[in-house]
Amino acid sequence: MREPRAAALSLLLTLLLLAPPVFAQSDEPAFGERSSGQMDIDEFFNSGGDEASEQEPDQDTRDGEQSSTGEEAEEESGEGFEEAAARVDLEALTTSPVKVAGKVNAGVGAGIGLLEWPASGESWPEEIRYSGLYYTRVIVTTDARPEPYLRFHGSVETVFDESQVDGAGGAFNFSTPSIRELFVDYTLADTVFFRAGKQRLTWGQGRLLGNPGNLVSRIYDGLAVRASLPAAGGTLDGLVYTTPALKGDYSEINPKAFGYAGLWDRGFGPVGLSLSGHYHADEALGSVLSLSTNVGAVELAADFVGHWDRGEPWGGESRWQADGLFVWDSDSSDWTLVGEYRFDSSVAEGLGHYGALALRMPRIGGGKWRPALRWRHAYQDHSGDVVLGLSGTVAPKLKLSLGLPVIYGEPGSYYRDALVVETDQDDRYDEEKYYIPLDNVVSLL
């Protein structure tokens, strides 16, 4: 094994050519998924109703004409309202036939970079790595609401990328189609909402450093039943779900094969408060306290996450995390700034501090290009990454992204380990062990 080198730096230059929805009957995100929240700034200026409506002239009562009394006017108004209400088809407004939509995303990218910089004794050609990616993702969704209280939704996905190549000289195949979502919604007495089936759900408020407050992050891999109802001035969500990992060796009807989670959310004036918890027989008890508020144009949020060992008296050894976030979004100047800090008590000697900043800048080049910058740092070993990106639409349905990521730190450090793994000298140039990360290098916010 080679001796670890001194602090090293990796420079990568990434070129991504993406074709977002080349075929799309619906641009809305799949139900249950979070929207990216990155609205094109031009959409803010398209009100859709700019044409001034023609105002009817004032109709003064002419001399000799009798005006309606207040009672007559009220009676006429009531009759008109009843007639209009009778013409409204409430069933048509609260139901919908089966809708089928499809979306195809295709992309190709290439990258070139240095594994270490300075080269630390190696020649430049030996430090250069190349990488590429290509993918096609097809999603077909169906949605129906036969009754106001009943809804069905399903989506199927298949993907083709470099991982689908069947060995050297093998066939290029799409992955076996898989079900992304398949659930039924039922509303009882217009008050209690149920969702049963394969679904997606996100709790917590983290954005740049993961999301430890998302106690139900594994729900996508299994089946779940969720219920929502008003409670104590807020909303209470209850969830029962299972996945292959949670089930383990338990039988399908054993309560220990399931995870149980709940979340209560309520607003107290400008402050939002939520409490959530998670239980599984073989895991530590999870709990989250979340706070959020707005101060002018700045959004502030905090998650306090605790995992409590139930195997010992008084809870035994615990692990907790604190996550703080601020988001400043200026509509007038088109700047967005996001900052996040996290502390993780599981890192030895109290060194589990992490920080991140992301900046989305105004459009340049006639409004076609959008620059962005992201920086993340781990204080435990002073490693991190910095990504400068530029993205823009170069043709209809064709997006070009350029990224320059820099990963710094000792080999094996928190952020550097994802790029460089120390191996035997003979394996140093094994492309399976050294790679240039291309995925999402400019999707910063």
Same domain as 434, residue 388? yes
> Does any domain span residue 392?
yes
Q: Which of 46-60, 169-183, 312-326 ranks highest by mean pLDDT?
A: 169-183
d(CA 44, CA 40): 8
Question: Which tens digit of pLDDT belongs to each residue from 351-389?
Answer: 999 999 999 999 887 778 999 999 999 999 999 989 898
* Residue 65 in domain: no
Confidence of residue 81 (pLDDT cuts 50, 70, 90): low
- The larger pLDDT score, comparing residue 172 to residue 407, is at 407
Whose tokens are 């996100």? That residue is 202
Pair 160, 243 in one domain: no
Residue (of 101, 106, 89, 118) closest to 9 by Cα position: 118
The tens digit of pLDDT for each residue in 48-74 reads: 333 333 334 344 443 444 444 444 444
Residue scoring higher pLDDT (432 or 95): 95
Residues in the chain: 445
For residue 36, name the pLDDT band (cuts at 50, 70, 90): very low
Residue 144 lies in a domain: yes
Task: Indicate whether 198 and 147 sit together in one domain.
Answer: no
Q: Which residue type is seen at 16?
A: L
Same domain, 130 and 5: yes
Tokens of residue 10, six digits: 């990796």
Banded pLDDT at 291 (limits 50, 70, 90): very high
Whether residues 206 and 268 fall in one domain: yes
> Both 110 and 229 in a single domain?
no
| Whether residues 156 and 242 fall in one domain | no
Adjacent-strand bridge partners of 106: 19, 136
Q: Are residues 333 and 218 in the same domain?
A: yes
Examine the fold and report which residue of 344, 360, 376 is the final residue of a domain before the chain moves on. 360
In a domain, 367, yes or no: no
Residues 118 and 236 placed together within one structural domain of the fold: no
When pLDDT is cut at 50, 70 and 90, the band that residue 112 belongs to is confident
Calpha distance 149→11 (Å, rounded)? 55
Least confident of 64-68, 192-196, 343-347, 395-399: 64-68
Distances (CA, A) of 158 to 18, 163, 169, 222: 18, 13, 22, 18
- Domain total of the chain: 2
Q: What is the mean pLDDT of the chain?
A: 76
Tell me the one-letter amino acid at 281: A
Q: Say if residue 108 is in the same domain as residue 256.
A: no
- pLDDT-derived band of residue 437, with 50, 70 and 90 as boundaries? low
140 part of a folded domain: yes
The answer to whether residues 212 and 255 belong to one domain is: yes
The rounded distance, in Å, linking the Cα atoms of 50 and 59 is 26
User: Which of 86-90, 251-255, 328-332 comes out lowest in average pLDDT?
Assistant: 86-90
Domain that holds residue 316: 190-360
- Let me know if residue 48 belongs to a domain: no
Cα distance between residue 152 and residue 146, in whole Å: 8
Q: What is the pLDDT of residue 331?
A: 76
- Of 360, 376, 394, the last residue of a domain is 360
Within a domain: 41: no
Q: Scanning the structure block, which residue is given the tokens 């990224």?
A: 403
Give the E-state strand segments of 296-334 in sequence order: 298-308, 318-330
pLDDT digits (tens, 9 = 90+) for 346-360: 898 889 999 999 999
One domain for residues 351 and 403: no
Structure tokens at 318: 């615990």
Closest by CA position to 324, among listed 344, 305, 336, 339:
339
